[in-house]
Every structure is written in C-alpha cells, then in structure tokens.
Amino acid sequence: MKKLIAANWKMYKSSAEAHNCVATLLGFLGKKAPENKEILVFPPFTAIKAVSEVFAGGSGFFAGGQNFYPEPEGAFTGEIALGMLREAGASWVLAGHSERRSIFGESNELVGRKTAYAYEAGLGVVLCIGETLAQRENGELEQVLTAQLEAGMAGLPVELDGARLAVAYEPVWAIGTGKVAGTGEIAEAHNLVRKILGKISPRHGAELRILYGGSVKADNAGGIMAVDNVDGVLVGGASLDAEKFSKIALA
C-alpha cells in the first residue's frame, strides 16, 4: 500500500493562506503525488473547501477534517457533521488526536465511536494513539496502546477496507516539542502496534498503515520512514510550510 504523508494544520491558516499553501505545494511536487505516496491535508474546517478545490486539479492529494461529531445532525453546538465535511470536499478524518484527548477530554470510548462512525460513512480514518511521558516512564506503553487500539477499533466491522483505516502512533511527549523519538524507539513502538493490530484484527492487522507523528521534519522524515512498520507520517508544525512539507513528501 502507498505511504501516507499527512499534514495536520491544527488551528492555523485562513482559507486564503490554505489555498496559497497547497497551490505552492503542488508547484513543488507537480500535479501528481510522489510515487507510492498519498498526501492528506487536514486544514481547519473553514479552509477545507479551498484545499480540496486545489487538490481536485491533481491526483493523489486529499483533504480531511480534524474533528467531527458522530451524529448525522442535531443540537450539538460547536460541532460539525461528516456530511458537512464531505460537502466541503473532505474524504478523510482524524480521530483521537492527543490534543482532542487531553484538551477536550475525548475518551477512548468516544474515539472508538467516532472511528466506527466515519469508517461506516465511507471516509478514511486516521486513528491517533500514543503514550504520555509519564506512562512511558512507568512502563505502561503496551497497556496504553492496547487500550487505545482496542477501544478505538471496537466498532469496526471484521471485514475492513484496509486502505481506509490508518493508525498514527504519536508519542505525546514528541508532539510539538521538537523531541522526536529515536528510530529505535519508533521501531519498538511500531512493532508493538503491529502486534496489537494483529490480535485485534487477525485478517487486516498486517496491512493497515501505521504512521509516525511527533516533530517530524524534512531532515528526519526519510530516516523515520525507513523504519520497519512505518507506513507514513503525520506532521504538524513542519506541514504549515509548503516547501518543508514537500521535502517530507519526497523523503
């Protein structure tokens, strides 16, 4: 399967800035995503349309939503429905990003409901997991990742379209801190995630893409993507700059 190179723009960029950024990105990469790669960009909601319109002129580029609420519509002030994201041009969503978990209190159970809901609706889902520094230091890595993956995937069907579900392993201590995990730590965690996926989904665990996220930059992306069981990257800060992100996509 193709590697997934994903940009999480968080709460950055107006729609004009987003338009310019992805137009510049296509200028660097050409109208086709690099060979054997798919490019996903998760802009703020208000910029999804601008991004998807530029991507419609290329191939292998997809826009996504950073968040949504797992109901078709209703009295959920401040939330957004998948139909609305789709209308803006989104074909992927993130679920369980550590900022959603820690700042907005999303539980493993809610992340699981969201993952199943978006998958059933036909979107691609990047299910994000990862341990805090305290959990790692307490020797809880396997326990935390197992709980996040079991709950996160609990509502998915047994027969999965593996192209529409990816897992992003993002150690919380490496997100936005400049502290990238070492390739040894990444290899160990990704092997562990692969093992847990195999138990949860004997049929599809081996094929699901596992992305690494946490301070990925142009100069470390190639080394990270060469690690066993790393099938792509989820990039925050460095994805806001088209030139830097294009280098990551080409790494």
Sole binder of ligand PGA in the list 111, 149, 175, 186 (CB under 6 A): 175
Per-residue DSSP letter, 182 = P
Sign of CA dihedral 103, 106, 108, 113: negative
Sequence-distant (≥ 6) Cβ neighbours of residue 2 within 8 angstroms: 36, 37, 38, 60
The pair of three-digit structure tokens given for residue 127, joined into one six-digit string: 């299910």
Contact status: 64 vs ligand PGA (CB under 6 A): no
Which x/- pattern, by CB under 6 A, does the window 6-45 give for ligand PGA?
A: --x-------------------------------------
Among 65, 54, 66, residue whose Cα is nearest residue 29 = 54
Single out the segment in contact with ligand PGA by CB under 6 A; choices: 33-41, 100-108, 154-162, 235-243.
235-243
By CB under 6 A, residue 214 contacts ligand PGA: yes
According to CB under 6 A, which one of 122, 176, 182, 222 is a site residue for ligand PGA?
176
Residue 99 falls in the annotated catalytic set: no
Q: How far is the CB of 177 from ligand PGA (least distance, A)?
A: 7
- Residue 96 CB, nearest approach to ligand PGA (Å): 11
Catalytic residue (one of 19, 97, 190, 204):
97
Q: Taking CB under 6 A as the rule, does residue 67 contact ligand PGA? A: no
Taking the complex as a whole, the smallest distance from the CB of residue 236 to ligand PGA amounts, in Å, to 2
In the chain, which residue ranges form alpha helices assigned H by DSSP?
A: 15-29, 48-55, 82-88, 98-104, 108-120, 133-137, 141-152, 183-200, 218-225, 242-250
Tell me which residue of 147, 168, 172 sits closest to 224, measured CA to CA: 168
Q: Give the CA distances from residue 226 to residues 6, 187, 191, 194, 203, in Å, rounded to whole numbers and listed in that order.
A: 16, 10, 14, 16, 25
Candidates 19-27, 78-86, 170-178, 189-197; binding stretch for ligand PGA (CB under 6 A): 170-178
Contact between 170 and ligand PGA (CB under 6 A)?
yes
Binding site for ligand PGA (CB under 6 A): 8, 170, 175-176, 213-216, 234-238
